[in-house]
Structure 1
Amino acid sequence: MEWVVLVGRVLFVLLFFGSGLGHLTQTQAMAGYAGSKGVPAPRASVLGSGVLIVVGGLMVLLGIWADLGALLLVVFLLPTAFLMHNFWSVTDPQGRQMEQTQFLKDLSLAGAALALFAFFATTPDLGLTITGPLLDGWFE
């Protein structure tokens, strides 16, 4: 079963690595878009969120305090859903549908990351990890 968990971790973080790379290499364009959405300090926000998702993704992938890594991804996903994909304020039907899909994707991924956090924090032997959970026993 430890191989199944490893494959699941690999598949789960692929999206975050692609997105994080975009945050760190296309900062100016992404900051412009974030600024148009009303995100404060857009350049710093884009760089900070890029680092956050790359670090969180690496922690989940490698199993280095994977519970904390999963929480870092939740910290990225929830604000992103509401700040960047506020479909309720879009009047164009096609744009509204696109933003709603992205909003729901971010919420779904946040739910999955939260479930992974609970799994990592409460499973004593995850196998194929570098460390055990950092927050083991904090939420019992």
Structure 2
Amino acid sequence: MDVLILIGRILFVVLFLSSAVGHLTQTKGMSQYAASKGVPSPYWATFGSGVLLLVGGLMVLLGIWADLGALLLLVFLLPTAVLMHGFWSQKDGGARQQEMIQFNKDLALAGAALMLFVFFAYAGSDLGLTMTGPLFSIG
């Protein structure tokens, strides 16, 4: 079972780690897009979210306080869904549909990150193939 959980962690963080690379290597261009969405301090928000994605993704991947890593990803996903993918404000049907898909994707991933947090915090040290136990304890 430990190997399957490790495979799941790897598959889960691929999106976040690749996004972190984009946020950190293309900060200027991505911050212009964030500015167009009305994000305050778009350069620093883009850079900061890249760091959040990188740290959270690596924590989940490596099993270093993976529960905290999952919470960091949740902290990224919820505001991103609302600030960056406000489908309700789109006039064009195609753009509305694309934003709704991205909004729902972020919400689904936020739900998965929340479940991972609980999973790691509940399983504690019984969960193998991690470098540390969880930071939090549930149950």
With the shorter chain as reference, the TM-score category is over 0.9
One-letter code aligned to 1:135? F
1:69: which partner in 2?
Answer: 69
- Give the fraction of aligned pairs with identical amino acids, expressed as a percent: 66
CA distance in 1: counterparts of 2:30 and 2:70, whole angstroms: 24
Q: CA RMSD in A?
A: 0.6
What's the CA shift string for 1:80-115, capped at 9, x where partnerless?
000000000000000000000000000000000000
Tell me, yes or no, if structure 1 residue 7 matches structure 2 residue 7.
yes
CA distance in 1: counterparts of 2:115 and 2:71, whole angstroms: 10
TM-fit CA distance, 1:136: 1.6
The answer for unaligned runs of 5 or more in structure 2 is none
CA distance in 1: counterparts of 2:137 and 2:48, whole angstroms: 27
The answer for unaligned runs of 5 or more in structure 1 is none
CA distance in 1: counterparts of 2:67 and 2:35, whole angstroms: 31
Give the alignment of 1:15-54 within 5 angstroms. 15-54=15-54
Q: What is the TM-score with the length of structure 1 in the denominator?
A: 0.97
Count of matched residue positions in the alignment of Structure 1 and Structure 2: 138
2:87: which partner in 1?
Answer: 87
Q: What is the TM-score with the length of structure 2 in the denominator?
A: 0.98
One-letter code aligned to 1:7? I
